[in-house]
Amino acid sequence: MDITKEKVYKPIRKVKDDKFSIDKIEQYCLILEIGDRDLQVSIIDIKSNRVLILEDYSLNKTADEHQKVQVLKALFDSHHLLMVGFWKEVILCFKTPKYCLAPLSYFSKDNARAILKMNCEVHKDESVGYYKVNSNNSVNIFTYQKEVLKFVRSIYVNSKIKVTHQSGMLVNAVLYNPPFANENELSLYIDRFYLHAAVTNNGKLLYFNSFKIQKFEEYTRYINLICNEFKILKKEGVINLWGYIKKDSSHFNALKKDFPALTMGSRTKKLNFGFKFDEIAEHQYFDVFGNYFNL
229 and 151 assigned to the same domain: no
Using CA atoms, how far apart are residues 146 and 126, in angstroms rounded to an integer?
8
**The pLDDT of residue 123:** 96
146 and 216 assigned to the same domain: no
Using CA atoms, how far apart are residues 220 and 244, in angstroms rounded to an integer?
16
Using CA atoms, how far apart are residues 31 and 50, in angstroms rounded to an integer?
13
134 and 221 assigned to the same domain: no
In a domain, 155, yes or no: yes
Q: List, in sequence order, every residue forming a beta bridge with 162; answer none if it has no partner.
A: 91
210 and 197 assigned to the same domain: yes
201 and 88 assigned to the same domain: no
Residues 13-26 have a mean pLDDT of 97
58 and 133 assigned to the same domain: yes
247 and 202 assigned to the same domain: yes
- The pTM for the full model equals 0.96
65 and 24 assigned to the same domain: yes
CATH number for the domain that contains residue 259: 3.30.420.260
Nearest residue to 73 via CA among 143, 178, 181, 152: 152
- Residue pLDDT, tens place only, 185-217: 999 999 988 999 999 999 999 999 999 999 999
In a domain, 70, yes or no: yes
CATH number for the domain that contains residue 43: 3.30.420.250
Residues 92-99 have a mean pLDDT of 98
Residues 11-27 have a mean pLDDT of 97
**The pLDDT of residue 5:** 47
In a domain, 168, yes or no: yes
In a domain, 120, yes or no: no
- Residue pLDDT, tens place only, 228-246: 999 999 999 999 999 999 9
**The pLDDT of residue 6:** 67
In a domain, 56, yes or no: yes
230 and 211 assigned to the same domain: yes
Cβ neighbors of 21 (< 8 A, separation 6 or more) are none
83 and 136 assigned to the same domain: yes
Q: How far is CA 291 from the centre of its chain?
A: 7
| CA R_g for the chain | 19
Contact call for residues 42 and 289 (beta carbons, < 8 A)? yes
Per-residue pLDDT band for 2 (boundaries 50, 70, 90) equals low
Residues 113-120 have a mean pLDDT of 97
Provide the residue range defining the domain that includes 146: 9-97+125-173+273-279+285-294
**The pLDDT of residue 7:** 87
**The pLDDT of residue 95:** 97
Count the domains in the chain: 2
Residues 117-122 have a mean pLDDT of 97
In a domain, 52, yes or no: yes
Residues 126-133 have a mean pLDDT of 98
Residues 106-129 have a mean pLDDT of 96
159 and 36 assigned to the same domain: yes
In a domain, 260, yes or no: yes
In a domain, 112, yes or no: no
129 and 167 assigned to the same domain: yes
